Amino acid sequence: MSDASAVQHPKLQHYFHSLRQQTETVTLGMWMFLVTEVMFFGGLFAVYALYRSQYPEAFAAASSHLPINLGAINTAVLIGSSLTMVLAVWAAQTGRQKMIAVFLLLTFVLGAAFLGIKTVEYADKWNHHLVPGPSFQFEGADPGQARMFFHLYFAMTGLHAVHMIIGMVFILMWVPRALRGEFTREWNDPVEILGLYWHFVDLVWIFLFPLLYLIGRHTG
């Protein structure tokens, strides 16, 4: 009836029996949250799929205005940040507390680099009158449909960027906790679930990059 472990771990909440149960519960919670995120982005991807299948030429023409090299660099940067995040989780699981902070900070820097490059791209769109609004101009067959592409481009990458920013705020909040030695081999749920979140946000970009930057490229 009473708890098997005589000494309660300070991080064990009173409504759980064991750290193991607590960890399983917390990670299941994050997975379920990611399911809601899939549905959230899924709605947007469905809108994209519909309009792209309706206006393939206009979407390909508009897509050719995106800088493929910047997009590729950003993809590499984000994959790199997933690597550093994995290393942070590994450091937590093996009890290397300083390393957790180091890898979290590296992840933050790579995330900031991604957003920096994204800002350059957005500024470039603004200068070329490709931002939806009164000053939008597009030289091509179907400026209206091309503008739809840019609606989706800004909605999808913007929402992705918001998710990046939220993740980076949490990374910054976790760094001092790591330095204080809060995350141990026995208990490191916050690092674990932040990792899950970060990989998810990374994965969204892995879909966004080909869907937005690479359409119509193979036809020249």
Closest CB 130 distance from another protein, rounded Å: 13
SS3 content of the chain, % helix, strand, coil (to 5): 75, 0, 25
Closest CB 36 distance from another protein, rounded Å: 5
Between 38 and 99, whose beta carbon lies closer to another protein? Answer: 38
Q: What is the DSSP letter of 194?
A: H
Contact 110, 77 (CB under 8 A): yes
How many helices (H) and strands (E) in the chain? 6, 0
Taking CB under 8 A as the criterion, the residue among 74, 75, 145, 188 binding another protein is 145
Q: Which residues touch 115 (CB under 8 Å, ≥6 apart)?
A: 161, 164, 165
Query: Quick check: 50 binds another protein (CB under 8 A)?
Result: yes
Query: In 3D, which of 133, 114, 103 has the Cα closest to residue 201?
Result: 114
Taking CB under 8 A as the criterion, the residue among 5, 18, 42, 56 binding another protein is 42
Between 55 and 200, whose beta carbon lies closer to another protein? Answer: 55
Taking CB under 8 A as the criterion, the residue among 29, 56, 140, 181 binding another protein is 29
Query: Quick check: 121 binds another protein (CB under 8 A)?
Result: no
Query: Quick check: 32 binds another protein (CB under 8 A)?
Result: yes
Taking CB under 8 A as the criterion, the residue among 55, 197, 200, 209 binding another protein is 55
- How far apart CA 92 and CA 102 sit, in angstroms, is 11
Q: Which two tokens mark 172? A: 């910054």
- How far apart CA 18 and CA 201 sit, in angstroms, is 30
Q: Which two tokens mark 209? A: 């990059």
Query: Quick check: 46 binds another protein (CB under 8 A)?
Result: yes
How far the first Cα of the chain sits from its last, in Å, is 70
Query: Quick check: 151 binds another protein (CB under 8 A)?
Result: yes
Query: Quick check: 21 binds another protein (CB under 8 A)?
Result: yes
Query: Quick check: 10 binds another protein (CB under 8 A)?
Result: no
Give residues in contact with another protein (CB under 8 A): 1, 14-16, 21, 24-25, 28-29, 32-33, 35-37, 39-44, 46-47, 50-51, 54-55, 58, 132-134, 136, 142, 144-145, 147-148, 151-152, 154-155
